[in-house]
C-alpha cells in the first residue's frame, strides 16, 4: 500500500496508470459483514466477496491501515485496476458497428449482383439463390424475435405502485368533432389516478373554438377544465415576430407564456388554443409548459380512442427498467371498415406493430414510437426538447416526422425504446386513396431523413438495430432494380414468376400473422403486397427525391383537402411497368414459346388467377359488406355503444 502511495505521489496523483479520480482499491470482506449488510441490486454493492472503492485525490480519504483500523488483522490485498477509457470504448464501438453495417450491406449486394443459385431447373425457369435465402432468413429471424417478445409480454409483471405522476398531451388540428369527443371520453375512462390532461389546439381562430368547447363539455365544464386562447405561441407573439422560444424579449409575450405554464401545471385538465405552427409547435407547447412537474409524459393524437389500461401498461415498462426512455403501444385502426384502403391499412398496422416493432423491442431499439400512443421519461425529454424542436435538415427546418425524431432523440442518449401490446388504442386512418398516399409519402420522407440521423447512434445499441436499418433502408432500391430488370428482360415468365413470388411471400407472412393473432382476417395481409408494389414503392422513391420539401402531407379531418401530387410517382411507375410489359410481349412474339415455357405460363396464370379469385370472394363475404357504412368496429374493452 505504501509503495502504491509513493508511486501516486511521484506521478502527480496518477495511480496504476489511471487519471486522478479513477483509482480503484480492491479488498476482501468478512463473511459476517456480508450477512449483516442488506442485499441490494445497486451496482455499487454486488453480492460478491470482493469490492471496489473509487477514490478522488484530495478528498481526505486514507487507507484503512493508516488509521490503525486493521492493525493486528489480516490486511486486504490491493490490486490497481486499469480500465479502458470511455472514449476508447466508444471509438471501438463505432468502428465495430460501422464494419458490421458495411459487411451486411456488402453481403446483400454480393448476393444480389452475383445471383448465385443453390438449386434451379434445367433452363432456370425456377431457382432459389443466395439473395432469396438471405431475405427468407431475415423474415424468419424477425418473426422469431417478435414471438419471443410477445411471450415476454404475456409473462406476469411485478405489481406497480402508482406513485408516479403522468401527463397526457393531445395534439389537435381541425379535428372531426366526433373523433375528438370519442378521444376525450376514452381519456376520462383511463384507470390511472391523478392523470393530468393537456390539449393543445393548433389554431386560435374562431372556427377552431369548437375543439375547446368539446374539451370543456367532456372534461366537466369551465370549473374543472382550465382553458386559454393564446394569441401567439412559444416561438411567435402573434404579430409575426419571434417569441420566447425564438429569442424575443416582449414582456407581454413572456407573461402570456408564464400564464400558459401556470395554467397547465395547476389544472388537472387544461386546453390551450394557440397560433398555428404545425404539430411540432403544438407538442412543444405541451412539453414546455409541463416542465419538470411530472415524471412521465404520454402523447396522443386527437383522433385516437385509448384503452383504459394503456397508461399503466406503458408505465410498467418504464418502471421495470430505468434504462428504458420511451415505450409505445399497439395502435389499431378505428375506422377500418370505412373503405378498402382503411381495411388493408388495419392489417398492415397489426403487422407493423406486432411483428416489426415487437422484434425491435426484443432488442430495446424500437425506431418509432407512434404519436397516437407513446410515453417518455420527462426528465429525459426535457434534456433534448430544444434540439428536437429546432431540428433542421439540409438547412431547412423540419416540419414533419415529429414522433420518429422524438424516438431517435431518446436512442441518441443510449436509452432503450420498447413496445408493449398490452397497451392499446384505435386511431383514424385515411379512407381515400390519394390522402393515404400523401400520408405514406410524408412518413417515407421522415423515415429516410431519420435513418441518416439514427445511423449516428448505431454504436450505442444492439447490432440488430444496425442490421435491420441496413436491410430495410436499402431494400426498396434492390426491389426497384429487380422489378425493372425482370420487366425489361423480354420473357413473360419472368414477370409472372415475380408476381407469384410477391404473393407467395405475402401469403407466408399473412399465415404467420393468422397464427400469432389467432384471427383469419390477417390472411388479407397478402393483398397489401400489391399495394406496396404499385403505390408505396414509387412513393418511397418520390419521398427520397423530395425529402427537403416541407408540409404536413395531410390535412385536417374536418375539412379534407386532397393533394394530387402524390399520384405523380404512381403514374410514372405504372408507365415504366407498362413499357416493360409491352417490350416483353414484343420480344416474345419474335420467337415461339417452348413447350416447357407454355406449360409454366399456363400453370402460373391459373394459380395467380385462382389466388385472386379466392381472396376476392373472401373479401366480399367478410369485409366488403361492412365497408362504406361508416361502421366503426370496436374490439377493445373501451368500446362505446
CA angle 169, 307, 145 (to 5 degrees): 95
Contact 183, 305 (CB under 8 A): yes
Domain contains 437: yes
pTM score, whole prediction: 0.82
Last-in-domain residue among 24, 50, 83: 83
* Domain encompassing residue 178: 165-303
Q: Which of 173-182, 327-336, 366-375, 559-568 is predicted with the least confidence, judged by mean pLDDT?
A: 559-568
> Cα(106)–Cα(463) distance, rounded to whole angstroms?
16
Q: What is the pLDDT of residue 231?
A: 92
Element (H, E) at 396: strand 396-397
- Do 284 and 221 belong to one domain? yes
- Averaged pLDDT score across all residues of the chain: 84
- Between 629 and 349, the more confident residue is 349
- Do 325 and 291 belong to one domain? no
Using CA atoms, how far residue 272 sits from 199, 286, 379, 399, 558, in Å, is 6, 9, 23, 20, 19
Using CA atoms, how far residue 167 sits from 222, 226, 228, 479, in Å, is 19, 15, 18, 43
| Predicted confidence (pLDDT) per residue in 158-215, tens digit | 666 678 999 999 999 999 999 999 999 999 999 899 999 999 999 999 999 999 999 9
- 211 HSE (CA, 13 A, CB side): 33
What 3-state class would DSSP assign to 71?
Answer: coil
pLDDT reading at 30 higher than 70: no
Domain contains 91: no
Which residues face 397 on adjacent strands? 392
Q: What is the pLDDT of residue 19?
A: 40
Q: What is the pLDDT of residue 197?
A: 97
Q: What is the pLDDT of residue 240?
A: 62
**Percent with pLDDT over 70 in the chain:** 80
Residues 6+ apart with CB under 8 A from 448: 473, 540, 543, 544, 547
Total residues belonging to the chain: 641
Q: Are strands 50-55 and 23-28 parallel, antiparallel or unpaired?
A: antiparallel
Domain contains 117: no
Contact 287, 381 (CB under 8 A): yes
Contact 449, 544 (CB under 8 A): no
pLDDT reading at 245 higher than 80: no
Confidence of residue 3 (pLDDT cuts 50, 70, 90): very low
Last-in-domain residue among 254, 280, 303: 303
Q: What is the pLDDT of residue 24?
A: 38
Which range has highest mean pLDDT (30-44, 159-173, 356-370, 623-637)?
356-370
pLDDT reading at 515 higher than 70: yes
Last-in-domain residue among 56, 83, 110: 83
- Do 62 and 17 belong to one domain? yes
366-373 mean pLDDT: 96
Confidence of residue 549 (pLDDT cuts 50, 70, 90): confident
556-575 mean pLDDT: 79
Using CA atoms, how far residue 64 sits from 33, 52, 78, in Å, is 16, 14, 12
> Cα(375)–Cα(380) distance, rounded to whole angstroms?
11
> Cα(163)–Cα(285) distance, rounded to whole angstroms?
26
Label residues 70-90 b or e (16+ Cβ within 10 Å = b): eeeeeebeeeeeeeeeeeeee
> Cα(541)–Cα(110) distance, rounded to whole angstroms?
23
Contact 81, 24 (CB under 8 A): yes
- Do 274 and 315 belong to one domain? no
- Between 36 and 596, the more confident residue is 596
Using CA atoms, how far residue 235 sits from 276, 278, 381, 594, in Å, is 11, 12, 19, 71
Domain contains 263: yes
- Do 268 and 193 belong to one domain? yes
- Do 352 and 294 belong to one domain? no
- Do 293 and 316 belong to one domain? no
- Do 340 and 285 belong to one domain? no
pLDDT reading at 454 higher than 60: yes
What cell was used for 204?
386560435
- State in Å, rounded, how far the first CA of the chain is from the last one: 77
Confidence of residue 482 (pLDDT cuts 50, 70, 90): very high
Q: What is the pLDDT of residue 582?
A: 94
Domain contains 148: no
- Do 297 and 320 belong to one domain? no
Q: What is the pLDDT of residue 633?
A: 52
pLDDT reading at 36 higher than 50: no
**Percent with pLDDT over 90 in the chain:** 64
Rg of the chain taking only CA atoms, in angstroms: 30
What 3-state class would DSSP assign to 161?
Answer: coil
592-621 mean pLDDT: 91
| Predicted confidence (pLDDT) per residue in 284-306, tens digit | 999 999 999 999 999 999 999 99
- Phi, psi at 623, each rounded to 5°: -110, -50
Which residues face 459 on adjacent strands? none
- Between 4 and 129, the more confident residue is 129
Contact 276, 399 (CB under 8 A): no
What cell was used for 242?
419571434
Domain contains 240: yes
Q: Which of 90-99, 273-282, 498-507, 549-558 is predicted with the least confidence, judged by mean pLDDT?
A: 549-558
- Do 311 and 272 belong to one domain? no
- Do 329 and 297 belong to one domain? no
| Predicted confidence (pLDDT) per residue in 377-433, tens digit | 999 999 999 999 999 998 889 888 999 999 999 999 999 999 999 999 999 999 999
What cell was used for 406?
422524438
Q: Which of 363-367, 524-528, 631-635 is predicted with the least confidence, judged by mean pLDDT?
A: 631-635
pLDDT reading at 217 higher than 90: yes
The residue written with cell numbers 425524431 in the block is: 405
In terms of C-beta density within 10 A (0-12 exposed, 13-18 middle, 19 or more buried), how is residue 427 classed?
buried
- Phi, psi at 90, each rounded to 5°: -65, -45
Q: Are strands 416-427 and 304-306 parallel, antiparallel or unpaired?
A: antiparallel
- Residue whose C-alpha is closest to residue 278's, from 402, 170, 383: 402
> Cα(174)–Cα(529) distance, rounded to whole angstroms?
33
> Cα(497)–Cα(501) distance, rounded to whole angstroms?
6
Domain contains 119: no
- Residue whose C-alpha is closest to residue 447's, from 361, 356, 513: 356
251-271 mean pLDDT: 92
Domain contains 124: no
- Do 424 and 536 belong to one domain? yes
Q: Which of 125-129, 508-512, 514-518, 616-620 is predicted with the least confidence, judged by mean pLDDT?
A: 125-129
> Cα(397)–Cα(399) distance, rounded to whole angstroms?
6
pLDDT reading at 1 higher than 50: no
Q: What is the pLDDT of residue 471?
A: 96
Q: What is the 3-state secondary structure (H, E, C) of 177-236?
A: HHHHHHHHHHHHCCCCCCCEEEEEEECCCHHHHHHHHHHHHHHCCCCCEEEEECCCECCE
Number of structural domains in the chain? 3
Amino acid at each position: 500500500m505504501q509503495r502504491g502511495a509513493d508511486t501516486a505521489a511521484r506521478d502527480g496523483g496518477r495511480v496504476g496508470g489511471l487519471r486522478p479520480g479513477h483509482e480503484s482499491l480492491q479488498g476482501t470482506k468478512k463473511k459476517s459483514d456480508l450477512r449483516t449488510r442488506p442485499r441490494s441490486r445497486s451496482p455499487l454493492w454486488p453480492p460478491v466477496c470482493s469490492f471496489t472503492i473509487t477514490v478522488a485525490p484530495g478528498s481526505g480519504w486514507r487507507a484503512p491501515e493508516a488509521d490503525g483500523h486493521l492493525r493486528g488483522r489480516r490486511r486486504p490485498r490491493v490490486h490497481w485496476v486499469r480500465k479502458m477509457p470511455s472514449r476508447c470504448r466508444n471509438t471501438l464501438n463505432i468502428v465495430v458497428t460501422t464494419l458490421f453495417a458495411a459487411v451486411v450491406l456488402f453481403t446483400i449486394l454480393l448476393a444480389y449482383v452475383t445471383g448465385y443459385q443453390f438449386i434451379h431447373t434445367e433452363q432456370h425457369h425456377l431457382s432459389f439463390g443466395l439473395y432469396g435465402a438471405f431475405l427468407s432468413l431475415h423474415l424468419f429471424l424477425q418473426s422469431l424475435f417478435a414471438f419471443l417478445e410477445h411471450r415476454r409480454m404475456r409473462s406476469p409483471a411485478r405489481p406497480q405502485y402508482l406513485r408516479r405522476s403522468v401527463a397526457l398531451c393531445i395534439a389537435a388540428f381541425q379535428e372531426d368533432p366526433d373523433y375528438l369527443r370519442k378521444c376525450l371520453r376514452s381519456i376520462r375512462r383511463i384507470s390511472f389516478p391523478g392523470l393530468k390532461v393537456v390539449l393543445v389546439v393548433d389554431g386560435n381562430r374562431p372556427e377552431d373554438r369548437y375543439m375547446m368547447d368539446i374539451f370543456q363539455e367532456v372534461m366537466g365544464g369551465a370549473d374543472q377544465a382550465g382553458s386559454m386562447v393564446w394569441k401567439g405561441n412559444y416561438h411567435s407573439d402573434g404579430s409575426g415576430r419571434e417569441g420566447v422560444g425564438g429569442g424575443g424579449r416582449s414582456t407581454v409575450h413572456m407573461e402570456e407564456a408564464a400564464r400558459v405554464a401556470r395554467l397547465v401545471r395547476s389544472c388537472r385538465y387544461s386546453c390551450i388554443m394557440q397560433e398555428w405552427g404545425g404539430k411540432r409547435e403544438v407538442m412543444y407547447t405541451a412539453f414546455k409548459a409541463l416542465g419538470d412537474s411530472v415524471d412521465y409524459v404520454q402523447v396522443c393524437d386527437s383522433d385516437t380512442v385509448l384503452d383504459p389500461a394503456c397508461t399503466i401498461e406503458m408505465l410498467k415498462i418504464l418502471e421495470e427498467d430505468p434504462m428504458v426512455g420511451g415505450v409505445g403501444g399497439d395502435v389499431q385502426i378505428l375506422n377500418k371498415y370505412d373503405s378498402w384502403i382503411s381495411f388493408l391499412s388495419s392489417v398492415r398496422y397489426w403487422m407493423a406493430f406486432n411483428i416489426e416493432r415487437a422484434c425491435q423491442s426484443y432488442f430495446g431499439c424500437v425506431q418509432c414510437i407512434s404519436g397516437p400512443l407513446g410515453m417518455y421519461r420527462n426528465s429525459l425529454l426535457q434534456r433534448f426538447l430544444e434540439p428536437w424542436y429546432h431540428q433542421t435538415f439540409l438547412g431547412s427546418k423540419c416540419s414533419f416526422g415529429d414522433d420518429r425524431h422524438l424516438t431517435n432523440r431518446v436512442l441518441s442518449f443510449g436509452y432503450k425504446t420498447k413496445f408493449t401490446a398490452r397497451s392499446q388504442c384505435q386511431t383514424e386512418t385515411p379512407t381515400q386513396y390519394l390522402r393515404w398516399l400523401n400520408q405514406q409519402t410524408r412518413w417515407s420522407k421522415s423515415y429516410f431523413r431519420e435513418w441518416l440521423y439514427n445511423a449516428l447512434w448505431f454504436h450505442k445499441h444492439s447490432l440488430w438495430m444496425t442490421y435491420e436499418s441496413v436491410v430495410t433502408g436499402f431494400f426498396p432500391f434492390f426491389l426497384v432494380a429487380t422489378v425493372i430488370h425482370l420487366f425489361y428482360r423480354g420473357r413473360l415468365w419472368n414477370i409472372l414468376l415475380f408476381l407469384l413470388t410477391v404473393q407467395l411471400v405475402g401469403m407466408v407472412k399473412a399465415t404467420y400473422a393468422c397464427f400469432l393473432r389467432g384471427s383469419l382476417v390477417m390472411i388479407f395481409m397478402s393483398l397489401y403486397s400489391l399495394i406496396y408494389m404499385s403505390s408505396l414503392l414509387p412513393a418511397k422513391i418520390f419521398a427520397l427525391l423530395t425529402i427537403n420539401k416541407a408540409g404536413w402531407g395531410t390535412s385536417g379531418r374536418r375539412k379534407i383537402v386532397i393533394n394530387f401530387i402524390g399520384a405523380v410517382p404512381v403514374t410514372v411507375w405504372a408507365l415504366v411497368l407498362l413499357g416493360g410489359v409491352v417490350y416483353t410481349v414484343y420480344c416474345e412474339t419474335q420467337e415461339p414459346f417452348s413447350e416447357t415455357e407454355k406449360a409454366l405460363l399456363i400453370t402460373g396464370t391459373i394459380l395467380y388467377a385462382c389466388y385472386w379469385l379466392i381472396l376476392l370472394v373472401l373479401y366480399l363475404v367478410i369485409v366488403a359488406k361492412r365497408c362504406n357504412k361508416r361502421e366503426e368496429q370496436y374490439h377493445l374493452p373501451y368500446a362505446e355503444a
